[in-house]
């Protein structure tokens, strides 16, 4: 049975662990415990073939910047996560996470994942953001950044309601199995 290694990265507290626990157990964890490293494995059927999806959770906190890349070798696909109600986590996708994974794994495909979409319409969250003259990140902003950073795709989900959750992992599997596009060679033509 083929194994697909999927590593989840992003700022601390954007919901990476909740995303994985909710997907693998159908339960939403009730308390926040910062992750050092965890892995989960699920069997998924793709085109009638069983695959083992190995899910690697990482710690977003800066204290783990030197430890985290140890989980990167042989990764088939990355999920780069940010919370749609945390503009700083969105900013860090470009400033920290994509540079980090592309430095260690140049050719590995990645998806940009907007998490906590259930909070996008939450009055208290919107009010809190407004105090800092901020707004939730829109789907369009996520899509635009994904294109700019050459992510395979932009997807969104809520680990709490499970909206879009299965789709995140379906898309990750497809990205891992998709052969990389051949590099378009430029030809020099002298007239």
- Find where tokens 């964890």 sit: 29
Q: What is the pLDDT of residue 185?
A: 46
Q: Identify the segments of the chain with pLDDT beneath 50.
A: 184-185
Q: What is the pLDDT of residue 87?
A: 98
Among residues 57, 53, 50, the alpha carbon closest in space to that of 41 is found at 53
Phi, psi of 7 (to 5 degrees): -110, 135
Phi, psi of 75 (to 5 degrees): -75, 135
Whether residue 16 contacts residue 58, with contact meaning beta carbons closer than 8 Å, is answered with yes
Domain residue ranges of the chain, discontinuous segments joined by +: 2-177
Whether residue 81 contacts residue 116, with contact meaning beta carbons closer than 8 Å, is answered with no
Tokens of 88: 């700083």
Distance linking the first and last C-alpha atoms of the chain:
53
CATH topology (fold) of 2-177: Rossmann fold (3.40.50)
Q: What is the pLDDT of residue 189?
A: 54
The tens digit of pLDDT for each residue in 72-114 reads 999 999 999 999 999 999 999 999 999 999 999 999 999 999 9
Tokens of 71: 């989980």
Q: Which residues have a Cβ under 8 Å from the Cβ of 75 and sit 6 or more positions away?
A: 5, 6, 7, 56, 105, 108
């Amino acid at each position: 049975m083929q194994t697909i290694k999927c590593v989840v990265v992003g700022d601390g507290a954007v919901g990476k662990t909740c995303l994985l626990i909710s997907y693998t157990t159908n339960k939403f964890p009730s308390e926040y415990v910062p992750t050092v490293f965890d892995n989960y494995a699920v069997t998924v059927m793709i085109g009638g073939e069983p695959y083992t999806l190995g899910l690697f959770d990482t710690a977003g906190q800066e204290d783990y910047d030197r430890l985290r890349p140890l989980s990167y070798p042989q990764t088939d696909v990355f999920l780069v996560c940010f919370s749609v109600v945390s503009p700083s986590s969105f900013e860090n996708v470009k400033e920290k996470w994509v540079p980090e994974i592309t430095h260690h794994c140049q050719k590995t495909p990645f998806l940009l994942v907007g998490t906590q979409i259930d909070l996008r319409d939450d009055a208290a969250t919107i009010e809190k953001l407004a105090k800092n003259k901020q707004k939730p990140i829109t789907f369009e902003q996520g899509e635009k950044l994904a294109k700019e950073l050459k992510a395979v795709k932009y997807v969104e989900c809520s680990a709490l309601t499970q909206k879009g959750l299965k789709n995140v992992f379906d898309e990750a599997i497809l990205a891992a199995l998709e052969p990389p596009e051949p590099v378009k060679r430029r030809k020099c033509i002298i007239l």
